[in-house]
Amino acid sequence: MNRLALSDFLSDFRHYVFHLNEYRELLGLQDSMRKNLTKFCESANQIVGDQWLKHRSEMANVSSLVSAYRSVEWHSENYRETIPFTSKKDLRENIAAYLNPKYSRDQLWLRPTSGTTGKPLTSYYSPEFFMEFQVYILIKFAVRLGILNESILSRDVFCAALQGGDNFPNRVWPCPGDIVGLILRPTIRDQDELSLNRFFEVVEKRPPAIISSSPRILKYIAERASISQRASFKDVAGFISCSSELSDDLRQFIECVFETPVYDSYGLSEVGPVAIECHLKNSMHILHEQVLVEVERSDGLVAQEGEGEILVSSVYNDAMPLLRYRTGDIGTVEYGECNCGFQGYSIKKLDGRVLKNFRFGSFEYSPKGLGNLTSLFPIDEFRISQVESMKLLVEVQYGKRTDGLLQKVEDYLKDRMECEVHIEVQRVEFDEVKKHSRYQFLEGL
Ligand SMILES: [Zn+2]
């Protein structure tokens, strides 16, 4: 392999930051990470039946180290009934109960998240998990997508994980173990032409094989790329959408602009990646090597298949093991065999709950199309309540001050209603909002 040296990249793109100490720490873990990757490749098409049978012993070993899960009766026949639920609120209020005493706090990597369902919370990662999450996971995705060929392996830049915040801004990491090229974390802020143009320059000179980001940022770069810039995206093998729901319209739009496939994925900063689409894009296959997914059905039953709130259990990040973590996302999980060779559980549909319509006199409006408000605007969460027969109260939560945001949301909604509905938009801080309670209806209409 004849790849570009890090120093050459840094002299071409001076706004990127390389931290030697971070890299040294990652480097020390490369042997175990390589083993993990090999295991993933070998087991990528392993058949998974009952997920608890697969995960029981490792879940027991790791989770019993933290005080929050000491009461689980792993040796009992009915151990599943003794596993408690874990909420975001639990983590916010008592994080110490979920941290593995094996690590001291200064050994851990941490990531405060804006949170799509409530106030921010901080996730703690073991160094190994951090490296997996930031560096190796995109290699795994490429394996599952079947796009990891010789040309991609020899690319100067393997991936660009675009972000809007200040989480390791403009970092560059050489891949420990030199399996693939450089890993970038470009920061792209709304309305910041400089950050956008700098990214376009990287794509033109050193095209990444994979670009991953939230639907909102992917949409922003697709909208802002000029015809000449679009041509330089031709070497990108795939876009991976993460962090929030990708609507069909938006996927089509981005694919149409760049003539490159967009793959959807599902993950949480608290547990890392959970599922990703294969190249057939039928459903998101669960990453059985590292997570166990269940649903809490509307009748209260916890099951590995069906529709309900998605619960995730994972001890892959042994610094902060989580069991039956309530994601606040509604989805449908199905067992089956995919033509790509995967046989196991897949998330078929996220936010698949059948929603009622808002009714304004004789006019009805389906809130279905509003799920992507968080991708269209820089907001973290929202709730729309019908408070009078012809009035909607729209509560939105967002981090930094954004001029005119409330007005823009109001204008957007008014545009879509097609009838005279009074809309009031307010900024709020939610305590906890589950996606299925985003819409509140007036009874009796
Ligand atoms: Zn598949």
Q: Rounded to whole angstroms, what are the CA distances from 71 to 68, 81, 93, 324, 407?
A: 8, 11, 19, 14, 50
Going by the DSSP 8-state scheme, the letter that residue 201 receives in this structure is H
Distance CA 274, CA 288 (A): 8
Thinking of the domain 6-46+101-290+324-350, which architecture would CATH place it in? 3-Layer(aba) Sandwich (3.40)
Per-residue confidence (pLDDT) for residue 158, from 0 to 100:
94
Q: Both ends of the chain: CA-CA distance in Å?
A: 67
Task: Determine contact, residues 330/310, Cβ cutoff 8 Å.
Answer: yes
DSSP string covering 374-417: HHHSS-SEEEEEEEETTEEEEEEE-SS--TTHHHHHHHHHHHHH
150 Cα to the center of ligand 1, angstroms: 22
Q: Rounded to whole angstroms, what are the CA distances from 63 to 13, 127, 328?
A: 43, 18, 22
145 Cα to the center of ligand 1, angstroms: 8
- Confidence tier at 425 by pLDDT (50, 70, 90): very high
5 Cα to the center of ligand 1, angstroms: 36
- Numbered ranges of CATH 3.40.50.980 in the chain: 6-46+101-290+324-350
337 Cα to the center of ligand 1, angstroms: 8
283 Cα to the center of ligand 1, angstroms: 7
31 Cα to the center of ligand 1, angstroms: 29
279 Cα to the center of ligand 1, angstroms: 7
266 Cα to the center of ligand 1, angstroms: 15
Per-residue confidence (pLDDT) for residue 354, from 0 to 100:
42
Instruction: Report the number of secondary-structure helices (H) and strands (E) in the chain.
Output: 14, 21
Task: Convert the pLDDT of each residue in 232-267 to its tens digit.
Answer: 899 999 999 987 778 888 999 999 999 999 999 999
For residues 317-325, give the mean pLDDT. 97
Q: What is the CATH number of domain 358-440?
A: 3.30.300.30
- Confidence tier at 400 by pLDDT (50, 70, 90): confident
Helix pair angle (248-258, 215-224), 10° resolution:
40
Distance CA 382, CA 10 (A): 40
Per-residue confidence (pLDDT) for residue 207, from 0 to 100:
93
Q: Rounded to whole angstroms, what are the CA distances from 351 to 181, 308, 328, 372?
A: 36, 9, 10, 11
Task: Convert the pLDDT of each residue in 51-68 to its tens digit.
Answer: 999 999 999 999 999 999
Task: Convert the pLDDT of each residue in 2-15 to its tens digit.
Answer: 577 889 999 999 99
Per-residue confidence (pLDDT) for residue 444, from 0 to 100:
56
- Numbered ranges of CATH 3.30.300.30 in the chain: 358-440
DSSP string covering 203-233: HHHS--SEEEE-HHHHHHHHHH--HHHHHHG
Task: Convert the pLDDT of each residue in 258-274 to its tens digit.
Answer: 999 999 999 988 999 99
Per-residue confidence (pLDDT) for residue 382, from 0 to 100:
86
209 Cα to the center of ligand 1, angstroms: 21
What's the token pair of residue 352?
A: 């698949």
Q: Which amino acid is at 435?
A: K
322 Cα to the center of ligand 1, angstroms: 27
